[in-house]
A and B are shown apart, each in its own frame.
Chain A
Amino acid sequence: MMNLVLQCFILLPLAAFLLSFMFPSKREQLLSGWVLSTSALHLLGLLLFLILWILDGAPLLDKRHITFYHTEDIEIFIDLYFDRTTAVFSFIGSIMMLLVSLFSKTYIHRDPGFKRFFVTLLFFFTGYNLVVFSGNFETLFIGWEILGVCSFLLIAFYRDRYLPIKNALKVISIYRIGDICLMLVMWMSHHLWHENITFITLNDTALVANHLLEHQGYGVFIALMIFLAAAAKSAQFPFSYWLPRAMEGPTSSSAIFYGALSVHIGVFLLLRTYPYWESLMIVKVIIVTMGILTTLIASNIASVQSTVKTQIAYASVAQIGLMFVEVALGFHWLALIHFSGNAMLRTYQLLISPSVLSYRIHDMMFHFKPKVESKKNAYFARLYHTFYMLGIQEWNMDHFFSVLLWTPAKKIGRSVSFLSTRFFIILLSFIYLSGLVLNIYRESISIDLIEFLPFVYSVIGLLLLLKAFSFRGNAIASWLSVFSAQLFITLGVVFLNEHFGFTEIGLLLSGSIASALIGYLTLRKVYQIDQDIQLNRFHGYVYEKPILAFIFLLCCLGMIGLPFTPSFVGIDLLFSHIHKHQELVIIFTSISFLFFEISVLRIYARVFLGPHKKEFHPIAFKSS
């Protein structure tokens, strides 16, 4: 019975989210009232549920819901789960949601994006609950993705300025690394367990130990991917630099996302999967080490921050580092208390951050002591200056990723720009068509070729994506290369695995084809306005064409297989059809998926967001 109630905590915000589109944007009271009553109801329900649950002896709850796909060895379904961790996370989440929406009701008043804010907030709340109530990786991943998209939308909330857009793309790129790790987790666990494992099964210590004994290497790989995903989402070293850059939206959205909930999801992921990696010493050592490292580095960076919000951000990262340590060492109650405390403290600190000015200035008036030039020992001074500078430069984390990932990707992408010449378009079409033909007669081709073809197609797919990622020309061309990349990747997997048949392709492409087509038409329409949608700058067309922008956003989400489109299941399937020994294919495919979402959102951002290119109305300076 209690199992069945679980779904209400997701359906309630989901329904509220879907219905919230109906409210006219001018009816602020109605909208905020709707959000407030949703979160109040959620909290109330949760409270009741918690009381009953505790009276019942706090049992583990698990309930399996809709199955999306089912064959003999693959099953993709929604599963909900409830335990102590879920209890704490959902309770704090619900309280924070209520408090922050109450705060925002007045705070966001009269902002042109009032409705956008609250609708996104509801979507976020849905995603958050999906994550914390999830009973398997697939369910968790849906929520996880929703959080990513909402983050992007709220960081880019002030869409007519340059920095929010730039930073939204930066954050989503890091998030995407976490997503890919999670996809790999699902991929590998599929091969490890030969089923879609639920979290409740992980509690079976004997079963887990058995599997790990057989496949130690895979086990460590999965655990490390989980850790990386958690580290990216929780802004751990070396990902931390995204967190201060995410503070672009209204203060209250920064508070709930990056003070309270979103940023702690990594901790949740570790807690949730702990039974799985608790026996892997090496993983625990890595997590503890990285946790301590993060704590020290983030504290160092926080100490030299001269702006209120970034200081809070790094201080919070340092505490989350400690939480990682606590989880790895098995102090879960402590971690849960730590999470609750950090969430509330940082939310509060962020919400009142503007008032720090008057408080501290007033404080200085009465307590200021001019600094005395202390005669520091030269070695100490040298050390201090070194760490001071490292802190100022945020330990060059940003630089690290651009050297490691983004710059090489751009270089490769630019060097294959010839792919968009007419000759190569024809050649690629030919390669693709022959691939289709070959597939039909696959029985009569040599095994070697069959093994080799997936590799070829996944490489072409990746190159097309990198080209789109770095392309500075017409957005339409970029959009089409993203779409063809997806076709190539799909074909590669088709070769890989004969079980990946028409149903699967259909699932994968059903969302994409429609999205690609509508997206294409939308871009055409925008192109006709000024005959210029080059990707070498931001155009800000949302100012002129808000509806087209919204449609295109939906297409982007459809293209990348946002949860609730069939493509999502398709992508999951696609991964599970890559065998575990096909390392190269999995590497190329996952890198492709990394750049896939980034390229798509980049097109959206460059064409529709940013400072409007026509200066007949006030436009912000780029640096503001």
Chain B
Amino acid sequence: MTEARFDLQHVLDELKHLLPSQTPIKDFIHHNSLHAYQHLPFFEAIFKASSFAGYQVTLQLSEFRELYYSGRIRKDALLKVIKNRKGIADQDIWLHHLLNTDYPLNRDPLIGRLRSQWKKIYAIDLDHHVQPLLFRILCSYLDQGITIWPFPLNGQGFIESVRNLESSSMTSLFKTSRGRNLLANKDITVQELLNILVGDEQYFTQYLFDQQFSHPGWSGIVSAIEQAPHTLMDSRAISLNELILFELILEIDALEDQIGRNWKSLGSHHLPAPIDLFADQKSTEWMEVLKLWQEAFEWSYYDEVLSGIRLAHKQSKPINKHKSFQAIFCIDERECSLRRHIEQEDQYCETLGMPGFFGVEFYFQPEHGKFYDKLCPAPVTPAYLIKESEVKEKRGHEMLYKKETNNLVFGSFATLVLGIWSGLKLGLTLFRPKMSPAISDAYAHMGRTSVLSIENSNPSHRENNLQIGFTVLEMTDRVEAVLRNIGLIEQYAPLIYFVAHGSSSANNPHHGAHDCGACSGRPGSVNARVMATMANHPEVRKSLKDRGIFIPDYTQFLGGLHDTASDQIEFYDEVILTPTNSIEHQKHLASFDRALDMNAKERSRRFASISTRKNIRSIRRSILKRSVSMFEPRPELGHGTNTLCIVGRREMTQGLFLDRRAFLNSYDYRTDPDGHLLVGVMRPLGPVCGGINLEYYFSRVDNYRLGAGTKLPHNVMGLIGVANSCDGDLRPGLPLQMIEVHDPVRLLIIVEHRPEVVLKAIQSTPEMYEWYINEWVKLVVLHPESKDYYYFEGGQFNVYEPLNVSIEKLEDMNTFLESAPEMETNYIVDATKEHLPVSILNS
């Protein structure tokens, strides 16, 4: 980037690549916060990002040391890491560095250095003069439904709209005529403005990076909307180029206003040489120290898990041939505990896991809906539409949520008449929290008994270029793929459930982050129902038979939805059940309910306001209450603590207590000896599970710059994001309340298959391989025959012998759950006290 010629398009592309890519917050999709660095090895990438923008990219040294002294980082793991990385000879020196050496560290980010010269030369803080107005205009332009008076759009994009607004009003956005004239000039370009401001072309690129990264939130959303305009319901045309153009004019205007005519471009002053913001940098000793700590932290946990899995394998009993039911859950780590409990409640059931869109990708249009909701992983673009009709539930309204309460006439009426009413409402929300139209209700995503247009009998039946429903052939393909991927090709139980998940929460702009990641941040209820209906379809069954999958006629599939916040389950289409199945279903419902009891109990230990020792009914009530309480910033803890992703048969993990930290994806190596299916199974793991894990990682280690900070002061901006203040930058990333229990440890994927097959699978596409070879996720393979572990590093698998960690045997789940100490503060060492060790159930 030190090349003399300034290439605007190139800089814009680079910026878009590097800026946060979070779309409007209603579609919260987890992704690697440092996705732009993914082509580099993990450690190189994070330290590069750190020197670029001053991010904290691992825990602080002092935190690592405290974790070590508290026993969370094992000494043997630490020594082993040092030995492997630095050799046995230098082990003591490095141990000393890790434990005792002080590194006087003052990150001095590369970004911002050029623009800080304004302050040095003219004692002017440009951001202070420019940002408040800039943000307000951006937010008003992009606003989706907060303002009472809409932004006067002229339909020709951002800068044209602003130009039109400016030219046709009696007042001005600018303080000087120079600003006015620059905007009025339709041919003005970024280049020309940079000539005025910066002068010297070799600084242009650096200047734009400095400028845009002084408010990464707003720049990020503009670039995200530019790249995917449909993510706004009320669409707006805007581009990063327009934002830069407008911002540069505002800067010139501010300089002109504050200093007068007598300012000169930055380039005409003596400046430090331009910096290469992306230069490779040498690894310093403190970086090495942090790397070692990070790995020791990771292996302290990994080794425990690997030992646990080995033990579980030894203990596992052959699964009973006669199954009461099978339940297929999302791989989501929040379902890990529910599956364990349900298996405890009903020894004859079998649970499986797969990404929660259940292999059906489509847009969903609720009845009377004006828009489509995408219900599949974010990178997939569906070609199908499912339409809903005959919804019975009526959607309520809340008078007090109307924006008219903020205008003059209705507002006066509202304060005088509804004032007392709102006082009562406030009292009710405090003392009797209950579901209301203002709360995002996972079950309201779809009518409980509505009709879905699942089957397509005429492929020309289309809407907006989408086919409505699936043909029998398309259904068969999908059902077959799902069943084969999870290895469920024989021994069908009479009832098979697809249990999707969603999350209800109140007063929570980040509610999308709690819903199903595989359904683009929405509840997966429609997917579960669609899949179940497809699998019940007689024609589909017939075609499946032709393809070698024999599902008995008595077997029926049912879709359901688990609310991970309120811990409730509901099933759909129960009317289709045969009388025999219906009776069985009732019994299973009771088992589910008992399992939810235990699940609620297990979750309750993380919540200070609920005592784990309380009566189970009262725990369930408190859990339910959380999900509808306006005053509760933690309806649930989301994916906090996720660390593992296990791809294999349930025997690997059955009875193993993994503390809700594992994504569980069912896969049977025996049905896929060559790994054809494995490619498809593993493809979403990086973007979905790895994305979740890394977003939690970075939001945890730097909640200020990579996370959204505490949500308590958040202000909803234009229904597209949150910011702290009325003049603040948008805050992408996760809020503090979601990450405080999270251990920033990379995802460990454990696959049960032969190493060479797995290697072939991950190398199938470069995008997929990048995750593994650059170690953004870690990979261990469990050899099905030899039972040896193979660790993937540097492009190859090597046998790995985990440290011998003793695994506790559990006699009683209740006492075990109650034994976990409550965290005192959300400081890492306190917070991690709540984690329970990997243990095995004695059953």
Contacts and interface: CB of A to CB of B under 8 A. Distances in A.
Contacts of B718: 306-307
B406 A312 contact: yes
Chain A interface size range:
35 or more
Interface in A178-198: none
A36 to B, nearest CB: 11
Contact of A306 (B147, B171, B400): B147
A381 interface: yes
Interface string A609-620: 000001111111
Interface in A239-293: 244-245, 247-252, 254
B370 interface: yes
Nearest to B403: A311
B122 to A, nearest CB: 13
Contact of B415 (A167, A314, A319, A615): A319
Interface string A132-153: 0000000000000000000000
Nearest to A367: B370
B170 A364 contact: no
Interface in A50-100: 95, 99
Nearest to A621: B705
Pick the most buried of B105, B420, B630: most chain A CB atoms within 10 A of its CB: B630
Contacts of B146: 305-308, 311, 356, 360
Pick the most buried of A360, A616, A623: most chain B CB atoms within 10 A of its CB: A623
B671 interface: no
Given A341-B420, A345-B414, A358 B440 contact: yes
Interface residues of B, number: 123
A385 B108 CA distance: 44
B631 A342 contact: no
Interface string B711-732: 1111111110011111111010
A420 interface: no
Contacts of B727: 163, 167, 245
Interface stretch (A389-397, A431-439, A548-556): A389-397
A388 B170 CA distance: 11
Contacts of A236: none
B398 to A, nearest CB: 7
Nearest to B609: A106
Interface in B692-719: 701-705, 709-719
Contacts, number: 349
Contact of A360 (B508, B711, B719): B719
B185 interface: no
A343 B422 CA distance: 10
Nearest to B511: A358
Interface in A322-349: 322, 337-338, 340-345, 347-349
Contacts of B233: 361, 364-365, 368
A624 B217 contact: yes
B168 interface: yes
Contacts of B411: 299, 315, 318-319
Contacts of A352: 400-401, 429, 438, 507, 630
B28 to A, nearest CB: 11
A299 B507 contact: no
Contacts of B143: 306
B87 interface: no
Given A106-B631, A358-B511, A618 B173 contact: no
A615 B53 CA distance: 12
B724 A618 contact: no
Interface string A389-425: 1111100000000000000000000000000000000
A620 B733 CA distance: 13
B800 to A, nearest CB: 33
Nearest to A376: B152
Q: Is the interface of B mostly helix, strand, loop or mixed?
A: loop
A104 B740 CA distance: 19
A67 to B, nearest CB: 39
A104 B430 CA distance: 10
Contact of A616 (B107, B142, B723): B107
A431 to B, nearest CB: 31
Contacts of A370: 234
A365 B364 CA distance: 12
Interface in B390-411: 395, 398, 400-401, 403, 405-408, 411
Contacts of B705: 618-621, 624
Contact of B713 (A248, A306, A622): A248
Given A251-B712, A385-B169, A299 B408 contact: yes
Contacts of B165: 385, 388-389
Pick the most buried of B216, B401, B444: most chain A CB atoms within 10 A of its CB: B401
B632 interface: yes
B131 interface: yes
Nearest to A399: B175
B163 to A, nearest CB: 12
Contacts of A381: 152, 168
A597 to B, nearest CB: 22
A319 B427 contact: no
Contact of B418 (A319, A337, A341): A341
Nearest to B397: A363
Contact of B712 (A108, A296, A318): A108
A348 B728 contact: no
B88 interface: no
A247 B715 contact: yes
Contacts of B427: 99
Interface string B140-175: 101111111111110100000000011011111100
Nearest to A254: B713
Pick the most buried of A295, A315, A373: most chain B CB atoms within 10 A of its CB: A315
Contacts of B719: 356-357, 360-361
B821 to A, nearest CB: 14
B231 to A, nearest CB: 12
A109 to B, nearest CB: 7
A340 B715 contact: no
B704 A382 contact: no
A484 interface: no
A303 interface: yes
A606 interface: no
A347 B426 CA distance: 8
A356 B26 CA distance: 12
A25 to B, nearest CB: 9
Contact of B369 (A167, A312, A366): A366
Nearest to B398: A359
Contact of A345 (B136, B422, B725): B422
B54 interface: yes
Nearest to A110: B826
A95 B423 CA distance: 9
Interface string B117-146: 000000000010001010011011011111
A392 B174 CA distance: 12
Contacts of A338: 415-416, 419
B507 A355 contact: yes
A465 to B, nearest CB: 21
Contacts of B429: 351-352
Contact of B715 (A108, A304, A308, A378): A308
Contacts of B401: 352, 355-356, 359-360
Given A250-B712, A381-B168, 16 more contacts: A109-B634, A295-B408, A303-B407, A305-B147, A307-B139, A311-B146, A344-B419, A345-B414, A351-B429, A354-B508, A386-B169, A386-B171, A389-B169, A392-B173, A620-B705, A621-B215
11 contacts: A106-B629, A111-B710, A248-B713, A306-B136, A340-B423, A343-B419, A356-B146, A359-B401, A381-B152, A385-B152, A386-B170
Interface of A: 26, 28, 95, 99, 102-112, 157-158, 161, 163-164, 167, 244-245, 247-252, 254, 295-296, 299, 302-312, 314-315, 318-319, 322, 337-338, 340-345, 347-349, 351-368, 370-371, 373, 378, 381-382, 384-386, 388-393, 614-624
Q: Which 8 A-B pairs have the closest CB atoms?
A: A341-B419, A315-B406, A344-B423, A385-B169, A250-B712, A299-B408, A623-B729, A306-B143
